Amino acid sequence: GKGLFTYDPGFVSTAACESQITYIDGDQGILLHRGYPIEQLAEKSDYLEVCYLLLNGELPTPEQNKAFHNTISNHTMVHEQLSQFFKGFRRDAHPMAIMCGVVGALSAFYHDSLDINNAHHREVCAYRLIAKMPTLAAMCYKYSIGQPFMYPRNDRSYADNFLRMMFATPCSDYEVSPVLARAMDRIFTLHADHEQNASTSTVRLAGSSGANPFACIAAGIAALWGPAHGGANEAVLTMLEEIGDESNIPEFIARAKDPEDSFRLMGFGHRVYRNFDPRAKVMKKTCDEVLAELGIENDPLLKIAKRLEQIALEDEYFVKRQLYPNVDFYSGIILKAIGIPTNMFTVIFALSRTIGWISHWNEFHSSPNRIGRPRQLYTGYTQRDYPADR
Ligand code: SDX
C-alpha cells in the first residue's frame, strides 16, 4: 500500500529476520550462541569449536571436531594468483581497504561452479572463508611492511598459525607463546557473532539478492570498517594514546558529553546493551591476565583505560544514557601487547566475525526467504514539469 509502513531509521525496533544463532538480552547483558553463554564458551571452548557451533547449531563430537580441523587445514592456502592482487595496492593502504578488495576477489575464484542453493556448497564456502581469512589478514600486514608472505602452517592451532604468519619471516621462525595464542583465540571467540549488527545485516541484505557469498562478505567488511562499528577497536587505542595521561581524562569526558563536539568515547555505548557488554567483562579479565603473564601489568594505556571506565561509569551523563564499555574497549590493549599494529585491529575483528557473517548467510539461504527491500519516507519535491525553455 501507499505510505502504509512503519518509519524506523536505524532499525531501532524492526526485526528483519528470524534467527536461531545468537540471542542477546541487552537489559540483562546476556549473550548466548546457540544457547551457550559467551562466558562459558570463552572459558571452556575455543574459536574453531565456536565456529562449528555457530554454523551447525550443535557442539561437535570428538570425531566431528577432528574432521572439522582437517577440513579447515585443507583450505588455509589462497590461490597463488592472489598475491599479484595485493601488489596493486599502495604500500600505505589501510589494511581494511586491502581486505575489502582481496576478500571480494575470492568471488572470482569461486563463482561458476558454486550453487548457493546446495547446502554442501554453502558449507564449503564457510570452510574456505574460515580457513583463508587468517592467511589474507596476515598477507595484508606483510605487504604493508614489505616482507614476503608466509604460508600457513597446518600443524599449528588456528591462533598460533595466524600469529606465525604475521610475525615469522623466511629467515627467522617465530615461536608463539601459549599465553599469546590463547589470548588471540579468546579475541577471535569474543568477536565471532553478534546477531543483526550493521555488518551482519549488510551480509544478509547483499546475500538476499543471491549474490556470490565471497562478495557478500566483502560488503560486510566494508560495513564493519567504520568507527561506530568494528573500527572502534582501532579508535579506542588512538584515543587512549591521545589522552596520554590520567590527568587529561576529564577533558576528554567533557568533550564526549558536549553536544557541539562530535567526539564520542570510543568503546563505549551500544545499540542493544543497556548494561555491561558481557564480552567486555571477559575482555577486561583477559587483558589483566595477559598483561600479568607478560609482566607488563603496569601498562600506562591500561591504567588510563581503567580510570576512564571508572570515571565514565560514575558520570551522570553516561549513567543516564546507560552507556557501558563494549567489546572493543579492552581488546586493543591486548592486541597491542601481542604486538599487532593498531591499523590491523579491525582486520582482526573482520577475521573473527567472518564465521558470524557466513553462518547468517547460510541460515538465510537454508530457510524460506525473499530479497531485502526497505521502504522510505519520501521528503523530496512533489511532481513538477521539466522547464519548457531549457
Ligand atoms: C560494535 O551492533 C552490534 O552488535 C555491534 C557490535 C558487534 O559485535 O557487532 O557489538 C560491535 O560495533 C561495538 C560498538 C563500537 N562503537 C563504539 O564504541 C563507538 C562509540 N559508540 C557509539 O558511537 C554508539 O554508542 C553506538 C554506535 C555504539 C550506538 O549508537 P546508537 O545506538 O545509535 O546510540 P545513540 O548514538 O543514539 O546514543 C544515545 C545517546 C546519545 O545522546 P543524546 O543524543 O540522547 O543526548 O547516548 C550518547 C549519544 O550522543 N552516546 C554517547 C556515546 N554513545 C552514545 N556519548 C558519548 N560517547 C559515546 N560513546
CATH number, residue 292: 1.10.230.10
* 211/198 Cα distance (integer angstroms): 18
Same structural domain, 179 and 316: no
Same structural domain, 111 and 154: yes
Quote the cell numbers at residue 105.
576477489
Same structural domain, 74 and 57: yes
* 21/56 Cα distance (integer angstroms): 9
Ligand 1: which residues within 6 Å by Cβ?
10, 194, 197, 228-230, 232, 256, 264-272, 321, 323, 326-328
How far does residue 300's CA lie from ligand 1's centre (Å)? 26
Domain hosting 73: range is 30-214+344-366
How far does residue 74's CA lie from ligand 1's centre (Å)? 40
Candidate of 33, 268, 274, 360 to mutate for ligand 1, largest count of ligand atoms within 8 Å of Cβ = 268
Residue 355's SS3 state is helix
Same structural domain, 108 and 55: yes
What does the pLDDT average to over 322-326? Answer: 95
8 occurs within a structural domain: no
Same structural domain, 348 and 333: no
pLDDT at 4: 81
The pLDDT of residue 230 is above 70: yes
Query: Which of 129, 128, 150, 131 minimizes the C-alpha distance to 139?
Result: 150
Tell me the pLDDT tens digit for each residue of 12-21: 999 999 999 9
The pLDDT of residue 5 is above 90: no
Q: Which atom of ligand 1 is closest in space to residue 10's alpha carbon?
A: 33
pLDDT at 1: 47
How far does residue 385's CA lie from ligand 1's centre (Å)? 43
Q: Whose CA is nearest to atom 33 of ligand 1?
A: 271
What does the pLDDT average to over 245-272? Answer: 96
36-37 and 22-25: which strand pairing? Answer: unpaired
pLDDT at 3: 63
The pLDDT of residue 121 is above 60: yes
Structural domain count, the chain: 2
The pLDDT of residue 257 is above 60: yes
Q: What are phi and psi of 321, to 5 degrees?
A: -90, 5
The catalytic residues are: 270, 328
Tell me the pLDDT tens digit for each residue of 29-41: 999 999 999 999 9
Candidate of 264, 276, 316 to mutate for ligand 1, largest count of ligand atoms within 8 Å of Cβ = 264
Same structural domain, 237 and 142: no
Q: What value does the CA radius of gyration of the chain take, rounded to a whole number of Å?
A: 22
Contact 354, 133 (CB under 8 A): yes
Contact 194, 200 (CB under 8 A): yes
342 DSSP assignment: G
Task: Indicate if ipTM > 0.90.
Answer: yes
109 HSE (CA, 13 A, CB side): 17
How far does residue 268's CA lie from ligand 1's centre (Å)? 7
Query: Which of 165, 124, 84 minimizes the C-alpha distance to 348?
Result: 165
387 occurs within a structural domain: no
